[in-house]
Structure 1
Amino acid sequence: MNGSFALHETLEVHEIAAFKTVCMTKSKLMQALVSDPGLKQILEHDVQISTRQLEELDGLLSKSQQGG
């Protein structure tokens, strides 16, 4: 990315981040409810991946707001 987004692109990244946050929250909540160790591990892995992805999206948005 070149560090400069059009308004609609910025809004789309915000929308993706919001959706990813909802998914991650659901996975975190489900971890407390499930008893199967395999499923718990899958949910934990999903939370870890989602956390990294949200950090990347935040970085993109920060760069875009700084102009590069």
Structure 2
Amino acid sequence: MTDETASHQLDALLDELYLGKDRVTRAEIHRRAIAAELPADLMTRIGAMPEGEYAQDEAAEVLDGRPML
């Protein structure tokens, strides 16, 4: 899988997950990723997220490996 494909899948998951919500827990992101049958590399990134609640932009930054400002 290319990085572009993985990025698209991640963006689609987060867009769907955050529809009508401001913050979502890591556990919910993980559950939805399993249900969406995301590839192993994305599941590894999600599994490595620190516990807590995330706004969509925060989750995207953590999962993309970019530092949050």
TM range (shorter): 0.3 to 0.5
Which protein is richer in strand relative to its size? 2
TM-score calculated relative to the size of structure 1: 0.35
Greater relative contact order (Cα < 8 A, sep 6+): 1
Between structure 1 and structure 2, the one with the greater Rg is 1
Which protein is richer in helix relative to its size? 1
